[in-house]
């Protein structure tokens, strides 16, 4: 067995990020930048009003002034203000030449074209003015290489003058469920037959943010069938994800089938619980990641290995899960020789490990919103002690 951190590093080293493509901002959500984004314009492009009111010279306070026109967003006053003059102005409108301050409308009274101060008025020159390029100037860095294109960053790119951005091609993922005991979800089960839950779980976990997913269905525990399924999946995919058949039983044939299909395995078995029977390698141009068949183990290893792999292929500069720290709300026993990932909930800022930690307990997985990360041979921890956690949300 190899440590989790080593397994993650070796998995990401199996392939570089995917080729670069340019997409519209409407298609960029959830992607990562393949090139830094710089501003192509000043923002604001001119001095703008931050309030509804009147544009005037601060030096002429407390007035009165003569109102000579108005400035609205997209339609500024073209003539400069002369001494003693003011202009009606609206939020987002450009300041007329000669003005340097905004008198908000709540502090103003007007009789025809005559404007007078009726409140406290602005306390300094430049109040309520958004200065030209105060947010950013042309050429300024907006989004760094390898950063996630969040809704706010997409808005930033748009207002910076961009209609499209460079990103990495979205990975193509093939899901293959293995096992004679599996049936398609929703079909009748008899005896010990089991609905195949891993493929829909993984497809939901990946969704359109991370990959284009194709479910190749259920393959029985037969060497020839597995070899054929792996060879077919490798023809047009970046990552082949298998679930089941990765352990050491007589009917655990994923490893032998991959090798027979021409795969070169990089590692098999990771010092973690749950998720020990994890394997990774390459089959042609595709990366192969063999997850355990147990749904909880498949879920945990997908969060710790599959998602980081896809983020790496998609160009994420920091693809590994963020590890945070929080206090325990209840005590936690010592861990064994493998790193342990316990399902837990965060309640009032404290971590509460769930009582049920059996790797087949899906109810506990559905109730959890984080994993408690315990290094090998960790001593027992009491309530109040700080532990490391990985969010599941």
pLDDT digit string (tens) for 54-99? 999 999 999 999 999 999 988 889 899 999 999 999 999 999 999 9
Q: What is the mean pLDDT of residues 353-358?
A: 91
* Distance (Å, whole) CA 96 – CA 77: 6
H helix runs in 13-52, sequence order? none
CB neighbourhood size of 306 (10 A): 26
| pTM beyond 0.75 | yes
In the block, which residue shows the tokens 């979205």?
170
Residue 251: what pLDDT? 64
Residue 173: what pLDDT? 97
**Structure tokens given for 354:** 């769930």
Query: Is residue 47 over pLDDT 90?
Result: yes
- Of 25-39, 181-195, 281-295, which gets the smallest average pLDDT? 181-195
Percent of the chain with pLDDT over 90: 88
CA atoms within 13 A on the CB side of 310: 28
Phi, psi of 66 (to 5 degrees): -105, 125
Q: What is the mean pLDDT of residues 137-141?
A: 98
Query: Is residue 250 over pLDDT 60?
Result: no
* Distance (Å, whole) CA 89 – CA 108: 12
H helix runs in the chain, sequence order? 4-12, 151-159, 198-210, 223-233, 254-260, 295-301, 307-313, 362-367
Cis check: omega of the bond before 47, within 30 degrees of 0: no
Query: Is residue 252 over pLDDT 70?
Result: yes
- Enumerate the β-bridge partners of residue 37: 143
- Of 235-239, 334-338, 360-364, which gets the smallest average pLDDT? 360-364
Residue 307: what pLDDT? 97
Angle at 382 between CA 381 and CA 387, to 5 degrees: 55
In the block, which residue shows the tokens 């005590």?
331
Residue 178: what pLDDT? 94
* Distance (Å, whole) CA 279 – CA 229: 17
* Distance (Å, whole) CA 241 – CA 232: 13
Report all structural domains of the chain as residue ranges with CATH numbers, in order of start.
Answer: 4-17+170-313 (3.40.980.10), 21-41+137-168 (3.90.105.10), 48-130 (2.170.190.11), 323-391 (2.40.340.10)
Query: Is residue 389 over pLDDT 80?
Result: yes
Query: Is residue 368 over pLDDT 90?
Result: yes
* Distance (Å, whole) CA 195 – CA 181: 8
In the block, which residue shows the tokens 């990366």?
287
**Structure tokens given for 25:** 């901002």
Nearest alpha-carbon partner for 92 in 74, 73, 105: 73
Percent of the chain with pLDDT over 70: 98
Helices then strands, each counted (H, E), the chain: 8, 26
Higher-pLDDT residue of 185, 252: 185
Query: Is residue 227 over pLDDT 80?
Result: yes
In angstroms, the Cα distances linking 169 to 95, 314, 326, 376 are: 44, 7, 36, 37
The SS3 assignment for 104 reads strand
Residue 370: what pLDDT? 97
User: Is 152 exposed, middle or buried, given 0-12, 13-18 or 19+ CB atoms closer than 10 A?
Assistant: exposed
* Distance (Å, whole) CA 326 – CA 223: 46
């Amino acid at each position: 067995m190899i440590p989790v951190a080593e397994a993650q590093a070796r998995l990401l080293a199996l392939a570089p990020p995917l080729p670069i493509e340019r997409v519209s901002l409407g298609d960029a959500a959830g992607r990562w930048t393949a090139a830094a984004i710089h501003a192509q314009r000043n923002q604001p492009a001119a001095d703008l009003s931050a309030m509804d009111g009147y544009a005037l010279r601060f030096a002429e306070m407390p007035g009165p002034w003569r109102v000579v026109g108005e400035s609205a967003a997209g339609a500024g006053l073209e003539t400069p203000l002369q001494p003693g003059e003011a202009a009606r102005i609206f939020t987002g409108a450009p300041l007329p030449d000669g003005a340097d301050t905004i008198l908000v409308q709540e502090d103003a009274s007007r009789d025809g074209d005559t404007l007078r101060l009726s409140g406290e008025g602005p306390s300094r020159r430049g109040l309520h003015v958004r200065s030209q390029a105060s947010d950013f100037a042309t050429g300024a860095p907006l989004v760094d290489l390898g950063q996630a294109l969040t809704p706010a960053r997409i808005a930033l790119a748009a207002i910076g003058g961009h209609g499209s951005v460079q990103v990495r091609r979205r990975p193509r993922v093939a899901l293959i469920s293995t096992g004679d005991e599996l049936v398609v979800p929703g079909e009748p089960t008899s005896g010990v037959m089991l609905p195949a839950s891993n493929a829909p779980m993984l497809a939901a976990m990946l969704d359109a943010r991370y990959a284009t997913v194709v479910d190749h269905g259920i393959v029985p525990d037969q060497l020839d069938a597995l070899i054929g399924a792996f060879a077919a999946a490798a023809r047009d995919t970046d990552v082949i994800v298998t679930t089941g058949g990765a352990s050491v039983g007589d009917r655990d044939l994923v490893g032998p089938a991959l090798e027979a299909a021409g795969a070169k395995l990089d590692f098999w078995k990771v010092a973690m619980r749950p998720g020990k029977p994890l394997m990774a390698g390459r089959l042609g141009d595709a990366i192969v990641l063999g997850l355990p068949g147990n749904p909880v183990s498949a879920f945990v290893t997908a969060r710790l290995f599959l998602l980081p792999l896809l983020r790496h292929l998609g160009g994420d500069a920091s693809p590994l899960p963020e590890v945070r720290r929080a206090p325990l709300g209840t005590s936690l026993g010592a861990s064994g020789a493998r790193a342990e990932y316990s399902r837990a909930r965060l309640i009032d800022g404290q971590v509460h490990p769930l009582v049920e930690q059996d790797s087949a307990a899906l109810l506990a997985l559905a109730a959890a919103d984080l994993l408690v990360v315990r290094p090998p041979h960790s001593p027992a921890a009491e309530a109040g002690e700080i532990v490391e956690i990985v969010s599941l949300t």
